[in-house]
Amino acid sequence: MDPQQGVQRIPPFRGRRTLHEAGLSLYAGEVETAISPEVSLVSLFVATFIAATLIPLSSEAALFAVLKLHGDLLWPALIVATLGNTLGGMSSYLIGRFIASKKPLTQLERVRRYGAPVMILAWLPVVGDALCVAAGWLKLRWLPVLLFQGAGRFLRYWLVSLGAQW
């Protein structure tokens, strides 16, 4: 007891050396109260948007984490992740459109041959970013590109959500 304040002083972690020994864990509820559902969804949107650009980031891991923290956010999280990732892909599409006007490229025959439906594969790592840029480069119509991208990305996130619920 501290005689000046009449309060008993407890050493940090009650003499234990680690957070785990002290009974504190990121899985014990502290994270759930620290990260609100709203913050989780905003963070998910940002992560999925960035992951759809040339910056390597795992949007699947972000969705999985949100669903593990807030299992009741299944549909909002699926919608936010799909929207963020699709809009990120469309930013790559716009970059492709801008670059195409500056410097033409001739090795885009596969994308030209299959057109917008090939964009269902835009969720694939590495290849997906190139597909988005190529679609813009070829000046494919934006609405089919958007819809096929969104469909492929939604299916991927839906499969991830099944794993998170298991």
State pLDDT tens for residues 114-127.
889 989 999 888 78
- Model pTM? 0.74
Binned at pLDDT 50, 70 and 90, residue 107 comes out as: low
pLDDT of residue 64: 95
Count CB-CB contacts under 10 A for residue 129: 21
User: Model confidence over 45-94: pLDDT tens digits?
Assistant: 999 999 998 788 899 999 999 999 999 999 999 999 999 999 999 999 99
Backbone φ and ψ for 77, nearest 5 degrees, come out as -65, -40
User: Does position 110 have pLDDT exceeding 80, yes or no?
Assistant: no
Percent of residues, the chain, with pLDDT higher than 70: 75
pLDDT of residue 70: 92
Half-sphere exposure of 150 (CA within 13 A, CB side): 11
Closest CA to 79 of 165, 166, 153, 163: 153
pLDDT of residue 4: 57
Structure token digits, residue 50? 């960035």
Amino acid at the residue 72: D
Angle at 93 between CA 129 and CA 123, to 5 degrees: 35
User: Model confidence over 24-44: pLDDT tens digits?
Assistant: 444 445 555 568 899 999 999
Lowest mean pLDDT among 2-11, 99-108, 125-134: 2-11
Coil vs helix vs strand at 139: coil
